[in-house]
Amino acid sequence: MPSTTLRAFTRPALAALCAAAALGLTACGPFGSSGGVEETGPFAGLSGPQIANKAIKATKTADSLTLDANLQMSDGPVKAFMALDTKGKCAGTISMGPTGTAELIRTGKVAYMRFDEAFLREQNQGGSPEETEAVLKMLKGRWVKTDVTDPEAKDSLEMCELDTMLAEFETGINSAQRGEETTVNGKKALILTEKDGDATYKIYVATEGEPYLLKIEQKGGEEPGTMSFLDYNKPVPAKQPAAKDILDLKELGEQ
């Protein structure tokens, strides 16, 4: 049950987040020069596509960041708040569907996950009341420990790979339009707007320091949502849980 639960939860969540990471940014074809050019203000002399591609390239050089996502996917809502870095360290929470939340921590070669009661009950649907209570007794409030080299945990722990997520970003935007300046989480930003069918995307690019992506919004279309990118290049607050709260999958399997 525990290993299956890890995979059943995090693999679809990773797929959903990675698919939404670009929020249409990869679907616009080869690099172009449309999007308007401003000779003054942020990114003077650059068109919308040039700014967007510049932001994507800068974001892919980040050593760490925090992702704050609120997405409406085809199979239900996905919410995540996850700090992660290029070394595989991560800490945060993610939920899929109307109920069920998991916490995930990875430190070094060890990872931990903790599931709330709603998620555990959902995963055990179809089981007997006795089985459900046994699962709750074993897992509720406890962190499931696993070695990051365990093949059973590989898919789950891709959620902690910043390089994996950023690999979804591609350059090649050819119709982003320059918009107004604004502020995102206290940082000055330029808004770029992109349309793709029924969906409208707003891309917020930092205008001070590195031109990182600060936020991407999709309105309309099949899978609207918002992803914010915070705390670039800051240490990931991943700490090992208290020993009394840890359930070791390896030890459990040997019993």
Report the distance separating Cα 17 and Cα 131, nearest Å.
32
Write the pLDDT tens digit of every residue in 172-183: 556 788 999 999
Angle at 200 between CA 66 and CA 165, to 5 degrees: 30
Report the distance separating Cα 238 and Cα 100, nearest Å.
22
Write the pLDDT tens digit of every residue in 139-175: 888 998 888 887 777 766 777 888 877 877 766 556 7
In the prediction, which pLDDT does 235 show? 96
In the prediction, which pLDDT does 137 show? 87
Residue 124, token pair as written in the block: 């055990």
Q: Single out the residue of 12, 64, 36 nearest to residue 174, CA to CA.
A: 36
Beta bridge partners of 104: 92, 113
What's the pTM? 0.82
Angle at 26 between CA 20 and CA 32, to 5 degrees: 150
In which element (H, E) is residue 130 found? helix 129-139
In the prediction, which pLDDT does 37 show? 75
Chain mean position to CA 149:
22
Write the pLDDT tens digit of every residue in 28-73: 433 344 566 777 789 999 998 899 889 989 999 999 999 998 888 7
Q: Which amino acid is at 210?
A: E
